[in-house]
Chain A
Amino acid sequence: DIVMTQSPFSLAVSEGEMVTINCKSSQSLLSSGNQKNYLAWYQQKPGQSPKLLIYYASTRQSGVPDRFIGSGSGTDFTLTISDVQAEDLADYYCLQHYSYPLTFGSGTKLEIK
């Protein structure tokens, strides 16, 4: 199974600041066939179901604000949230969908100061 190591466990920032969440996979998520990285990011607000933010490591889901940016390749990935808003208070998870079983990172809790 591919192990997803996500960091940090939590972070607290003020509105307008930038945050970076990291996800490292135990093996490469880059497909040699189509050069796509099979890594997705999800946001889960309190009391809600998760919501897809980013897929193929850097493709933003329709309707997701452009302050959410995904980057990285191979085994190292980053979700950057620029100009954090109060509404971004949530847990964030990475997911590898390169191979089964699909595996999530352990999550990052974003708090707003």
Chain B
Amino acid sequence: QVQLTESGPGLVHPSETLSLTCTVSGFSLTGYSVYWVRQPSGKGLEWMGRMRYNGDTSYNSALKSRLSISRDTSKNQVFLKMNSLQTDDTGTYYCTRDNVAPFAYWGQGTLVTVSS
């Protein structure tokens, strides 16, 4: 079955770079796009960017200057890197996949706290 699992450091210091990994199973990264969505603590959902099935990427313009998404198809992993983190980047980060509809499958999310 389709599974997505996020992993990351948990705590990041201000101005540092966040690195997250989404490990997938039950499907191929060359057949489906994977997206990153985040949820600042106590707030709503924000689409961050996507890794398309063909290797192309697209980003939320509000984050584009700080964000990079890549993948390793041999390891079934998609990576998110975001630099210059600030306290308002604290929240839960999800990877998700579409089916016919967007965001049909979600990981459990990984909580990232930005604090000194």
Give the distance in Å from the alpha carbon of A106 to the alpha carbon of B59 in the complex. 20
Q: How many residues of A contact B (CB 8 A)?
A: 23
Give B59 Cβ to nearest chain A Cβ, in Å.
Answer: 8
Give A79 Cβ to nearest chain B Cβ, in Å.
Answer: 14
Name the A residues within 8 Å of B60 (CB-CB). Answer: 101
Q: How many residues of B contact A (CB 8 A)?
A: 21
Other-chain residue from B47, B107, B108 in contact with A102 (beta carbon distance below 8 A):
B47
Also in contact, A40 and B102, with CB within 8 A (given A49-B94, A102-B47, A106-B44): yes
By secondary structure, the B interface counts as: loop
Docked-complex contact A1 and B94, CB < 8 angstroms: no
Name 23 interchain pairs, CB-CB below 8 A, sorted by A: A1-B61, A42-B45, A49-B107, A50-B37, A50-B45, A50-B103, A50-B106, A51-B106, A52-B102, A52-B104, A55-B101, A55-B102, A61-B101, A93-B44, A101-B47, A101-B60, A101-B61, A101-B62, A102-B47, A102-B102, A103-B47, A104-B44, A105-B44
